Structure 1
Amino acid sequence: MTLASRSARALGALSAGLLSLGMLAACAPQPQPTSTPTKTALFSSDAEAFKAAEETYRAYTDASNDTNLSDPTSIDPVYEWLTNPAEAASRKNYSVYYAEKISRTGESTYDHFTPVAFKNGLITARVCVDVSAVDLVDADGQSVVPTDRVDRQPLEIEFVEGDTPTSLVIRSNIVAEGFKC
């Protein structure tokens, strides 16, 4: 056998091997495309969204009532239910109370949780907060609550998605104009 015939034979065997390999690759299952998870709606209905919002506000109120203004760590559970700008405002208020040695007696409650809107992930509701049993006192035991404070305060609350048991946090908690308690 000559060098040329051996080379041709080797080239033929190599070609057959590559062809077989190509055919095997063509028979191999194609990798499945990886799917990217699509974000699903957090709530299946307005009623479900408003129920979660009310549960969120109840948990926030409970956490607020459980605070001891002389112990900054007792306030941490309140922040879990807030996001900015509500969280920033709350941190500022609690810092002032702590610095000025203000203490609180009594608890706030709420009623009339009124759904307003649920659109694009933003839930808005109105509540009447009763602070009639709450007093803020200074280190000398003197009340620092303004004498003209309204005992039942109308608030508008905005909720957005958050990492809590209800999947919501409070984004805004402001006086509701035109809403009476």
Structure 2
Amino acid sequence: MSSPLRPARVGAFGAAAILTVILAGCATAAPTPAPSASPQSDPVFATEEEALAAAEEAYAEYLALGAEVASDGGENAERMAAVTTGAALDQERQTFAGMRERDQTGTGQQEFDSFTLQNHDADGSVTAYLCLDISGTDLLDSNLQPVSPPDRIERYPLEVQFETAPDGKLVVSQSRSWSGENFC
């Protein structure tokens, strides 16, 4: 059985702090990818496979750096500018500022799977669906005691948007809960 989700922005380590129930069940089918736009000029990615591989690599770097910043208690969150831009960077700044204010640190590494290309455009923008798994993470208070709720949801269906940075690498520009049926 599946249920609709409420849209929400999810930061690299912010999902570990989500306290409200976003979904109640799981469906087995991922959303159907939208067709790619027709390129007007030479596309950044020659194939869908190339766009998908670049997006997966960018998301892995995003999660790894987010885990590093979280383990530092949110200090030097500006490091996230290397893997995010726009709304995603703003969300990361807010998430890590909250961790600093609450004197929390993060442990563990988030993982992802079910990475599916939704679309990619000639300008190098990519949108993908994925399942974020936070089961290997925790938030700790200043006494190193866990503060994540024991009954938290540990897998989230996300829609993630990427943009091509000036250096040609993809960076996360937006991450939000998928508002359709849960495909995780």
* TM exceeding 0.5: yes
Query: Which of 116, 130, 134 lines up with 2:133 in the alignment?
Result: 130
- The structure having more radius of gyration, on CA atoms, is 1
Higher helix share: 1
Does the 8 A contact of 2:104 with 2:141 survive in 1? yes
Does the 8 A contact of 1:105 with 1:136 survive in 2? yes
TM-aligned CA deviation for residue 78 of structure 1: 2.5
Does the 8 A contact of 2:67 with 2:106 survive in 1? no
For the residues of structure 2 that align with 1:159 and 1:43, how far apart are their CA atoms?
A: 13
For the residues of structure 2 that align with 1:81 and 1:163, how far apart are their CA atoms?
A: 12
Number of equivalenced pairs: 142
Does the 8 A contact of 1:163 with 1:169 survive in 2? no
Identity %: 27
Does the 8 A contact of 1:69 with 1:98 survive in 2? no
* Higher RCO (C-alpha 8 Å, min separation 6): 2
- What RMSD over aligned residues (CA atoms) do the two structures have, in Å? 2.2
State the TM-score, normalizing by the size of structure 2.
0.68
Runs of 4+ in 1 over 4 A off after TM superposition: none
State the TM-score, normalizing by the size of structure 1.
0.69
Corresponding residue of 1:107? 109
Deviates more, 1:88-97 or 1:49-58: 49-58
Instruction: Show structure 1 runs of 5+ residues with no match.
Output: 1-38
Instruction: Show structure 2 runs of 5+ residues with no match.
Output: 1-40
TM-aligned CA deviation for residue 72 of structure 1: 1.4
For the residues of structure 2 that align with 1:153 and 1:140, how far apart are their CA atoms?
A: 28
For the residues of structure 2 that align with 1:71 and 1:94, how far apart are their CA atoms?
A: 4
**CA 1:163 to 1:124, structure 2 compared with 1: closer, same or farther past 3 Å?**
same
Q: What SS class does the counterpart of residue 85 from structure 1 fall into?
A: helix
**Aligned: 1:144 with 2:147:** yes
